[in-house]
Each structure stands twice: as structure tokens, then as C-alpha cells.
Amino acid sequence: MSNAYIDSVYKNLADKHPGETEFLQAAKEVLDSLEPAIKANKRLEEAGLLERLVEPERAILFRVSWVDDSGKVQVNRGYRVQFNSAIGPYKGGLRFHPSVNLSVIKFLGFEQIFKNSLTGLPLGGGKGGSDFDPKAKSDDEVMRFCQSFMSELWRHIGQFTDVPAGDIGVGGREIGYLFGQYKKLQGEFSGVLTGKGLSFGGSLVRTEATGYGLCYYANEVLSQLASTSLKGKTVAISGSGNVAIFAAEKATQLGAKVVTMSDSSGWVYDPHGINLDIIKEIKLEQRGRISEYVLKSGSIGCEYQASKKVWDAGESIWSTKVDIALPCATQNELELEDAKLLVKNGCQMVAEGANMPCTPEAAEYLKKHGVLFGPAKAANAGGVATSGLEMSQNSERLSWTFEEVDEKLQQIMKGIVDDSLAAAEKYGKKGDLAAGANIAGFERVAEAMLAQGIV
Ligand code: NDP
Ligand code: 2IT
């Protein structure tokens, strides 16, 4: 189905930003799925709602200079895209990875608008980061980089305006350095960042939240749409960072067997189920490579496959026979050829832990072949939702117990499944979790934008 208004908004966007491929991919996916909601409410077009939605309220690009351990001056580029504040202060992570550019940050910031809306919490959408590569850098280098990055960013953020957090390459260590520099420059101790250490305002469960939330979401979808659960299922997970590790932990706790994990150099297959203590030791404590797993685990039948990309077709991590696939590494890591392999091997569900890990062709193929498809903005919303809970705790100067936060996270993930399915059904797309998530997320933001006038 096509719609003249949506088509013209997308065409204008594509003409204006021909090189922003990731952003255009994310925008097209959302815009196309909004067709029934746009048709049902003429006010949206009259108010130029979509033209305003695809334009960030503000995009900041800045130089980050720092000195490496050898005394050499290094220069990186910093970004913060403050996309939409209709329902709350801008909220979204910071990504430090050499592939970061304006298109990547805009795609992530755009997705964040709908994801944050779906959580039901008062969080606007934003994202930031840098092309800085934390790999193989010393702690001192990472600290100096973070301090320089925050020396510019601090004037643009605040607990009531914009609250960054982690993403690829930004974990507890980086958030600590960023927080220390913000506090020094602003002269204020506030909940300006989330994912903080527990000793200075962090929330229990935030570290685990994205991966745990992904499994809560997957279990709820399996229960509502297929009368089954993660128990007894074989699961492939890509990535071995924050999201992947805690997705593997919760999936295992819920009775599944996780047989694959990866990093940007290759992937491991362990037929007995991945030993997470070893993965945590390699990836979290030693910042090492996943290839070390085979030797360390001593598991019979365990293999390591090097790949230039995690998604090398034919020989990819997705060629393993599994019931459930949880891509938790990066965008466009699961391509059409991978989707075909998953379908051929009888995969029942793909839930996206990473942001936009499935290409549009892969997602389409999976849905067409009856695979339950949980889109990122719903499936991985547990991370930002728990960031929202961290902000609440900071505001009331209290810390909730692990059980309290975990319980709220479970409720939020169930609410996201319920709201997505309800919106899909209301607009004639019964069972379409992707369209439902987009529409449910959009409706709340659109209502707030309409109420606030043309600003
Ligand atoms: P981490 O930096 O902790 O881990 C990233 C993992 O993905 C690593 O194993 C990394 O391998 C791998 N990876 C990263 N980039 C590539 C690439 N270009 N090719 C192949 N492998 C790659 O990040 P997170 O776990 O936090 O984030 C993973 C995904 O989840 C991202 O898409 C992120 O946007 C999304 N996400 C994160 C949330 C959070 O709270 N952290 C919340 C919601 C979504 P290597 O170690 O070799 O680099
Ligand atoms: O993509 C994401 O939702 C995140 N990286 C988490 C954002 C946050 O503010 O916790």
C-alpha cells in the first residue's frame, strides 16, 4: 500500500540526504508502516506531523581533541542528535565506534523516539557518540577522550533536557569518566547520565536490562502468539557485549540453550550451551577476543569460525540450526541470505536485541515465512526503560531493590507486547509486531506534538 503524503515526505528526505543510508532505511521502515494511522487522522498531514518528525530538533557536531599515551594529539568527531522532545527530555545512548557518522547517529536517534514512547515513560528521543575506537586503548586514554568529549557535550545536556547513556563501546567505565567531567564542569551532582555505577546513583538491573528485557519480550510474544516459551529452545545470539551477554544469561535462566555468540572477528558454536562465566571473563574482565573461548571452555565439539563480518552469508552465525535467533551486535548484521538459512532450519522467532540488525529484505522474508519477528524498538526497549527507572530513583534520591526494578522491567516489556499487538489489530495488521510497535510508539508522540502546537 502506498500513501501520497508519506511518499512525498520520504522522497523529500531521500533527496535532501542521499548519503544517509542508515537513517533513510530506518525512516522508510517507520513511515511505510504508519500508513493506516495517517489515513485515519487527517489532522496529522495538516499539521505537517511527519515532516517535523523526520527532522531532528537539533544536531550538534563537535571536535574532540585528546592526547594519547605516546604524547601524540588525536582528533575525533563527536555527535549528539536531539531528535524529539515531545514527551520528555531527549534520552538515548552514546556510541563510540569507528563506523559512527551522522547517518548512524540519526538512525539511532530516530528509532529511539518510538522506542522510548513505547516504554510508557516520559522520555524523548536522542542519540550521540563518536568515531573514537575504545579497542586497545589504555584506561587513561579512554579517560582523557571522555573528558574532552564531555568538555563540549556538557553545555547541551542536563537532567531536564537531555540524558545520555551507553551503547556500543560505552559501558560503565566510560559513563563513570563522562559523569565525573560533567559534575566538575556543571558543579552539580544530578542524574544527567544513566548506566552510572551503583555507588554514585546507578540503578540495579540497568546493566542487565536490555538483554533481560529482550528475553522477557520474547517469552511474552511466544506465550501470546505461539502458546510456548523459551524453555527447552535452542538459541543463537550474535555479539558478546552488554546486550548479548545478559540476553544469554536470562535465556539460560528461562530454560533455553544458547549455542552461539560472536564478536567482530568471528563466532563460536558450543553444542553443549555457551558457558557464560567464560564469556564474561574474556569479554568483560579481560576485554579479549571471543576466539579464546574454545581453548578456555575445553568443550567437546565447540568451534570457532573467523569471519570478516559476523554476517558473512552461507557461513554465518545464522547457519546454525536453532529455534530462536537474537541478533545483539549491530545494524544490518542479519541479511536476506541469513534469513533464508534460519527459515530453512526451522527457526520460529527472531527478536532484535541490537538496533536494526535485520536488513529490510531479511525482516520481510522472515515475516513472510511465518517467523515471529520482534522489532528492535520494542524488543530492546528494556535498556532505556530501566534508564528511565534510574532517572526516577535519582529524582527521589532513593534506590530500589533488584527485585523491584526487575518486576517493573517485566511489566514494561509485557506492556510493550500488549500495546504493539493492540495497535496492529486496531489498524488491520493483526499479529504484525513491527507495524504495531511503530504505530503505538508514534501515536503517543503525535498526540503530544499536536497538543503542543507548531514549535
Ligand atoms: P557492546 O559494545 O557492549 O557490544 C557490542 C558487540 O557487538 C561486541 O561483541 C562487538 O564485537 C559486536 N559488534 C559491534 N560492532 C560490530 C560490527 N560492526 N560488526 C560485528 N560485530 C560488531 O554494545 P552493546 O551490547 O551495548 O550494543 C549492542 C547492540 O545493542 C547495538 O546495536 C546497540 O545499539 C544495541 N542496544 C544497546 C543497548 C544498551 O543498553 N547497551 C540498549 C538497546 C540496544 P567487538 O567486541 O569485536 O567490537
Ligand atoms: O539503544 C538504546 O536504547 C540504548 N543504547 C540505551 C539508551 C538509554 O538511554 O538507556
**Does the beta carbon of 94 sit less than 6 angstroms from any atom of ligand 1?**
no
**Does the beta carbon of 355 sit less than 6 angstroms from any atom of ligand 1?**
yes
Ligand nearest to the CA of 171: 1
Ligand nearest to the CA of 326: 1
**Does the beta carbon of 328 sit less than 6 angstroms from any atom of ligand 1?**
yes
Residues in the chain, total? 455
Residue recorded with cell 551503583: 198
Residue 61's identity, in one-letter code, is L
According to CATH, the topology of domain 56-190 is: Rossmann fold (3.40.50)
What is the per-residue pLDDT for 316? 86
**Does the beta carbon of 240 sit less than 6 angstroms from any atom of ligand 1?**
yes
According to CATH, the topology of domain 209-379 is: Rossmann fold (3.40.50)
What is the per-residue pLDDT for 307? 79
What is the per-residue pLDDT for 250? 98
Catalytic residue numbers, as ranges: 127
What is the per-residue pLDDT for 349? 98
For the CA of 195, the nearest atom of ligand 2: 10
Ligand 1 center to 396 CA (angstroms) = 31
CATH 3.40.50.10860 in the chain, residue ranges: 56-190
CATH 3.40.50.720 in the chain, residue ranges: 209-379
Ligand nearest to the CA of 239: 1
Ligand 1 center to 188 CA (angstroms) = 31
Pairing of β 324-327 and β 349-351: parallel
Give the list of residues 6+ apart from residue 323 with CB closer than 8 angstroms, or none.
Answer: 233, 234, 235, 346, 347, 348, 349
List for the chain the helix, strand, coil content (%; round to 5).
50, 15, 35
**Does the beta carbon of 380 sit less than 6 angstroms from any atom of ligand 1?**
yes
Are the C-beta atoms of residues 126 and 107 closer than 8 Å to each other? Answer: no
Among 167, 206, 214, residue to substitute to test ligand 1 (most atoms within 8 Å of Cβ): 167
SS3 307: coil
Cα–Cα distances in angstroms (integers) from residue 190 to residues 95, 145, 154, 181, in the given order: 22, 22, 12, 12
Ligand 1 center to 327 CA (angstroms) = 10
What is the per-residue pLDDT for 205? 98
Query: Which portions of the chain are predicted below pLDDT 50?
Result: none
As separate numbers, helices (DSSP H) first and strands (DSSP E) second, the chain gives 18, 12
